[in-house]
């Protein structure tokens, strides 16, 4: 799990992310977001909205991270973010699947 947060921090430093619920939803709709990462303690409505939007546009979702670790990794107090680069998204998804 530590490698996931390290690689996520690298994606953030590279500027390949969008943070915040509304920006992430807009990014999904525009086809910019390749992977959605949300904290497991998001509100039920936020989780439902993001899961529905992501499944409609066929964007994978990772929702097993906690908000404290996400905050440490990206340096911002956010519970929802989208990865905008396909390479970073694929690698993060692979790390979580293993």
Q: What is the mean pLDDT of the chain?
A: 94
Place of tokens 């680069």: 85
| CATH number (domain holding residue 44) | 3.30.1330.30
The span from the CA of 94 to the CA of 29, in Å, is 24
State yes or no: pLDDT of 93 exceeds 90. Answer: yes
pLDDT at residue 2, rounded to an integer: 86
Query: What are the tokens at 72?
Result: 């440490």
Count: domains in the chain = 1
Contacts of 31 (CB under 8 A, 6+ apart): 57
Mean pLDDT in residue range 59-78:
92
The span from the CA of 58 to the CA of 52, in Å, is 10
Instruction: Give the domain range for residue 72.
Output: 2-97
pLDDT band at 98 (very low <50, low <70, confident <90, very high): confident
Please state the φ and ψ torsions of residue 39, each to the nearest 5 degrees.
Answer: -70, 150
Global model pTM greater than 0.85: yes
pLDDT band at 9 (very low <50, low <70, confident <90, very high): very high
């Amino acid at each position: 799990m530590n490698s996931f947060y390290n690689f996520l921090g690298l994606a953030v430093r590279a500027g390949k992310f969008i943070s915040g619920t509304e920006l992430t939803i807009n990014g999904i709709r525009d086809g910019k977001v390749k992977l959605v990462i949300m904290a497991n303690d998001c509100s039920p409505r936020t989780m439902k909205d993001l899961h529905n939007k992501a499944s409609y546009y066929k964007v994978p979702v990772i929702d097993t991270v906690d908000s404290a670790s996400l905050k440490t990794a990206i340096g911002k107090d956010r519970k929802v973010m989208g990865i905008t680069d396909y390479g970073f998204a694929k690698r993060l998804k692979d790390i979580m699947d293993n």
